[in-house]
Structure 1
Amino acid sequence: MLDISSRVRVHVETLLAAQIDMGVCDAIEHYAPVRRPVTMNAPHPPKVAGIDSMVPPPAHTVTPTSAATGVPPATPHAPVAPGTLLQDRLAAWVSDLTTLHELTERLARTDSLAEALQELLRAGAALVGARRGLVVLEPHDGLGPDTTIGLGLARADLGHIETVPRSSMSYGRILDGLPGGEREIAEPDLLSEDGLDPRHREVAARLGYAASYALPLSTEAAGRLGAAVWLYDEPAEPVERQRHLAARYARYATEHLARLVETDRTRACMRTIAEELLPARLPRIAGVQLAARRRTDPRGGGDWYDALPLPDAALGLAVGSVTGSGPSALAAMGRLRASLRAYAVMEGEDPVAVLSDLELLLRLTEPARSATALFAYCEPATRRVTLAGAGHSPPLLVGPHRTEFVETSLSAPLGMLACWEAPSIDVALEPGETVLLYTDGLLRRTGDPMDRAFARLHAAAAGVPRPVRTDPGAVVDHILRAILPEEPAVAAARSGRVAPRPGEDGAEDVILLAARFE
């Protein structure tokens, strides 16, 4: 990964500073290859117990002792080849740089907060020679997210640790700004400490750790995000070189975590806004049972649904999707849904007029955006449904004796034509039948062509057990489990495919709205 010649010309001042400071980067600040690279003559560093082989210890070319080889040791004044010690020292520094580069690359490939925290614990354990650890994420601004993740520790083990008074734990001193918490905290022999809290001693004995090493996750730019603690099974303490590497890695990891924390907060805010723009609860209408389910894109998609009471004991059902994702799509979705509610109250018995008014509004106010929508005017007393769709997937009827799609007229999405209009469809339902409205994300998340996705949806609906068909919530739950048994990332991992990123097919919004007529 790093192509550095073993024969280098180094300034004397740099060498002296390197030998004194032992820095990883400063030591090879000035170098210049003088000829073609040759193989370093430093011996391969042996693996040290308790230290991952990715982090070899500094190698020094010395004569083995008689106890190890049976050969008498060299005299104190034995001649040493010129530059041998320097080459060994440079080999160790290059090894350290390579290790840090590999670990930071692995960390940079994580795109979720949970993955990054796990990678931080694994890399830190390799650097300091520990087997277990935990990281406590608690940003100093109090805006969250707050979480605790363990390496080699079950949830019950973390619960035991949390019963220890916070001020007696190294991570507690770091997070609460207590004396000594602004830097690393090494506790090489916990059980022999006189001032150790009795509860801490009991938990350490139960979980089987005898030493700990903690680092603050803090930088000047990011502030304090949390603390990482690694646990040793026996009394131990990282050496100076291990501390130096772990500190450098922790600084980079903190900056990466700060970016992921900001992303996580933004996604949480988007989810909250989307939930507030959709119905807080479904209305109660005599003769109709309603149920809705929603899975969202982390960036916030433009899929929406609505169910609103209308005059003359009628009910309006709507689903739709706005192109795009993110804040602008959410805002457009909120405006579109509010406008449809107004048009439905005024002329809901004519779904074509409702969608025509909506198309005109969209074309005048947001000419660069398009949307699909389906609106159904329902009369529960007579089980009659009149619906019209604009580029939207047809509803699905699920009943005791039939499972079929409603044949709607072919129509373009809203905003695609100069004047939108399509005929409406009248559907007469039998007692106990359920009308299922859904968005295209349900079909696209399957990853199949649209014809096969429709077939899967029909098969899932036909496979709903008859005892649960009286509950629309159980119907939509069964369909979701049958079509999307796993989240996209989990399904991709099982099949070996690349997990879809937010906004790509497979990570789209999914909405199901079911209405069962008695």
Structure 2
Amino acid sequence: MLDIPSRVRVHVETLPAAQIDMGVCDAFEQYAPVGKPYTMNAPHPPKVAGIDSTVPAPAHTVAPAPAAPDAPAVLTDPGALLQDRLAGWVSDLTTLHELTERLVLTTTLPDALTELLRAGAALVGARRGLVVLEPGDGLGPATTVGLGLTRSDLGHLETVPRAALPHGTLLDTRAGLPGGVAEVVRADLFAEQGLHPRHRDVAARLGFAASYTRPLSTETAGRLGAVVWLYDEPAEPVERQRHLVGLYTRYATEHLARLLEVERTRACMATMAEELLPSRLPRVSGVELAVRHRTSPRGGGDWYDALPLPDAALGLTVGSVTGTGPSAVAAAGRLRASLRAYAVMEGEDPVAVLSDLELLLRLTEPARPATALFAYCEPALQRITLAGAGHSPPLLIGERRTAYVETSVSAPLGMLACWEAPSVEVQAAPGETVLLYTDGLLQRTGEPVDRAFARLHAAAAALPRATRRDPEAVADHVLRTVLPDGLDTADSAEDVVLLAVRFE
């Protein structure tokens, strides 16, 4: 009797001999007890730590050395063979567990595709490869990511007719669909009959002589694309490697499908938010405008607008509604559209504009407060009259001063039974810039409000003199200084709007 713990021994002893050759994960799913596998006496093959090295072949996959003709027959212990096979299954299962753990840590499509290429290359013993993402539903996104291949190399591969490439065969026919062809093996490209001449030329130029291709498709995810690994010399993966990489790619396809859905949702939210904002800023004599807008992945409710008004005036507004997601984006679009109408009718009185907006918000969306700032700008007089509802004060930036505009404290729209606050008049000098912004600029810093205000003031005060003449450069400098190290583009629940108005 083998020295195997009793919980494992019960299952091993009931293994039919015909099932000893079944796959690693299939066998353990049926016969291994739930929980962590017990340690066995037989020496295990070394585990694979990561994906930087190829998966070692366990002893049970190594062909026995041929015996000499006159050598006496040696009886092999069946128990030792079974224990060796079980040890190999444990090694394979450990390898898959480590690789899938690394894959599940990826949160973006590019990272997941790169990890898929690296792990698959380790499993099949290749050095380079590429993955072509082309969802079968045609909704995109479509992209190609290479491992050990530059953009120029990928460009050379694109010159080969698609039908001549193995992944083209899978993607353009039903072969790559769930239940279709599971793999395409080209063990020696230069010895292959009927290989397209351009394919032969590109293979020689890039230095690969064989390829192994698998579709990225499952019954639940559908067809997402195909992955190709390239060998420098004529070669092909053995049966065990194909089995392992097949299990891995099926799991990777499901993970990619989840990330693909997230990516599509983000793109849809960003598109919807941008479409509800001005497509371009107006050109008005006497002022220059620049804007920066960063949308959160979940979709936030920040908005801005610049609207030409009668008498060569300009209406400027920034604001934010509470919440995230499609409902917040839609609410911001409705408020912006309403504010434009009120600005045309009574824009010279910012208090009246915000009062009308507050009444509309209270009647139509009583459970969604909003902050807003509206400014009536007269470029010829270099004057701005503004009113704010729970909004951060504008920042005035000039050659000789950098200061926040003193506004009265007021509640956000929709918080009180009747909103009212006095307006403030700002007299700017030629060359000065008024900076309007939403609270997301301060909140993304992760600092207390007073320190965030101080950071914004310091960033504006440190503007180089030449930069002050260009509102685009002013907006970029402030955004980059207040939100360093990629905080302006990182995933965040807060939208950011920065509107710079420079008087000529």
- TM-score w.r.t. structure 1 length? 0.88
- Structure 2 matches for 1:103-182, cutoff 5 A? 103-177=99-173, 182=181
Cα distance, 1:103 vs structure 2: 1.9
**Distance 1:331-1:128 versus aligned 2 partners, 3 A rule:** same
Distance 1:354 1:481 in 2: 33
Helix, strand or coil: the match of 1:24? helix
Report if the CA contact (8 A) 2:479-2:488 is conserved. Answer: no
In the alignment, what sits opposite 1:60? Answer: 60
Helix, strand or coil: the match of 1:328? helix
Gaps of 5+ in 1: 491-499
Cα distance, 1:416 vs structure 2: 1.7
**Distance 1:32-1:410 versus aligned 2 partners, 3 A rule:** closer
In the alignment, what sits opposite 1:446? Answer: 445
In the alignment, what sits opposite 2:42? Answer: 42
In the alignment, what sits opposite 1:21? Answer: 22
**Distance 1:336-1:299 versus aligned 2 partners, 3 A rule:** same
Q: Please list the CA deviations of residues 211-231 of structure 1 after superposition, one character each: whole Å capped at 9, or x if unmatched.
A: 111100011222211000011
In the alignment, what sits opposite 1:482? Answer: 481
Helix, strand or coil: the match of 1:215? strand
Cα distance, 1:177 vs structure 2: 1.1
In the alignment, what sits opposite 2:363? Answer: 364
Cα distance, 1:65 vs structure 2: 6.6
Q: Please list the CA deviations of residues 285-327 of structure 1 after superposition, one character each: whole Å capped at 9, or x if unmatched.
A: 1211111111111221111000111122211100001111110
Report if the CA contact (8 A) 1:43-1:61 is conserved. Answer: no
Distance 1:372 1:260 in 2: 34
**Distance 1:73-1:469 versus aligned 2 partners, 3 A rule:** farther
> Aligned pairs, how many?
495
1:21 maps to amino acid: M
2:100 maps to amino acid: T
In the alignment, what sits opposite 1:248? Answer: 247
**Distance 1:167-1:62 versus aligned 2 partners, 3 A rule:** closer
* Stretch deviating more after TM superposition (328-337 or 435-444): 435-444
In the alignment, what sits opposite 2:89? Answer: 93
Distance 1:62 1:121 in 2: 26
In the alignment, what sits opposite 2:80? Answer: 84
In the alignment, what sits opposite 1:426? Answer: 425
**Distance 1:28-1:342 versus aligned 2 partners, 3 A rule:** closer
2:500 corresponds to 1:517 = no
In the alignment, what sits opposite 1:314? Answer: 313
2:101 maps to amino acid: E
2:246 maps to amino acid: A
In the alignment, what sits opposite 2:324? Answer: 325
2:43 maps to amino acid: P
* Stretch deviating more after TM superposition (195-204 or 389-398): 195-204
The CA RMSD over aligned residues, in Å, is 2.9
In the alignment, what sits opposite 2:349? Answer: 350
Cα distance, 1:489 vs structure 2: 9.4
Cα distance, 1:446 vs structure 2: 2.1
Helix, strand or coil: the match of 1:56? coil
**Distance 1:321-1:141 versus aligned 2 partners, 3 A rule:** same
1:25 maps to amino acid: D
2:480 maps to amino acid: R
Helix, strand or coil: the match of 1:514? strand
* Stretch deviating more after TM superposition (148-157 or 447-456): 447-456
In the alignment, what sits opposite 2:219? Answer: 220
Helix, strand or coil: the match of 2:371? strand
Report if the CA contact (8 A) 2:134-2:141 is conserved. Answer: yes
Q: Please list the CA deviations of residues 232-282 of structure 1 after superposition, one character each: whole Å capped at 9, or x if unmatched.
A: 122111111110111111111111211221221121111111111001111
Distance 2:106 2:471 in 1: 39
Report if the CA contact (8 A) 1:121-1:135 is conserved. Answer: yes
- Structure 2 matches for 1:494-513, cutoff 5 A? 501-503=491-493, 508-513=494-499
Report if the CA contact (8 A) 2:277-2:304 is conserved. Answer: yes
Cα distance, 1:179 vs structure 2: 6.5
* Stretch deviating more after TM superposition (252-261 or 6-15): 6-15
In the alignment, what sits opposite 1:232? Answer: 231
Helix, strand or coil: the match of 1:126? helix
Distance 2:121 2:72 in 1: 38
**Distance 1:45-1:5 versus aligned 2 partners, 3 A rule:** farther
Cα distance, 1:502 vs structure 2: 4.3
1:265 maps to amino acid: R
**Distance 1:47-1:302 versus aligned 2 partners, 3 A rule:** closer
1:280 maps to amino acid: S
1:444 maps to amino acid: Q
2:115 maps to amino acid: E
Report if the CA contact (8 A) 1:318-1:376 is conserved. Answer: yes
Gaps of 5+ in 2: none
In the alignment, what sits opposite 1:398? Answer: 397
Helix, strand or coil: the match of 1:298? coil
* Stretch deviating more after TM superposition (319-328 or 466-475): 466-475
Distance 1:138 1:419 in 2: 54
Helix, strand or coil: the match of 2:463? coil
In the alignment, what sits opposite 1:200? Answer: 199
Cα distance, 1:11 vs structure 2: 6.2
2:278 maps to amino acid: P
* Stretch deviating more after TM superposition (54-63 or 474-483): 54-63
Distance 1:509 1:389 in 2: 19
Q: Percent identity?
A: 71
Distance 1:87 1:136 in 2: 41
Distance 1:228 1:449 in 2: 48
**Distance 1:31-1:350 versus aligned 2 partners, 3 A rule:** closer
**Distance 1:63-1:308 versus aligned 2 partners, 3 A rule:** closer
Report if the CA contact (8 A) 1:343-1:354 is conserved. Answer: yes
Q: Please list the CA deviations of residues 157-213 of structure 1 after superposition, one character each: whole Å capped at 9, or x if unmatched.
A: 111111111111111111111779732011111122232222222222222211111
Distance 1:289 1:38 in 2: 72
1:218 maps to amino acid: S
Helix, strand or coil: the match of 1:25? helix
1:128 maps to amino acid: V
- TM-score w.r.t. structure 2 length? 0.91
Report if the CA contact (8 A) 1:54-1:99 is conserved. Answer: no
Helix, strand or coil: the match of 1:319? strand
Report if the CA contact (8 A) 1:55-1:95 is conserved. Answer: no
Cα distance, 1:121 vs structure 2: 0.9
In the alignment, what sits opposite 2:10? Answer: 9
1:285 maps to amino acid: V
- Structure 2 matches for 1:331-346, cutoff 5 A? 331-346=330-345
Helix, strand or coil: the match of 2:374? strand
Helix, strand or coil: the match of 1:21? coil
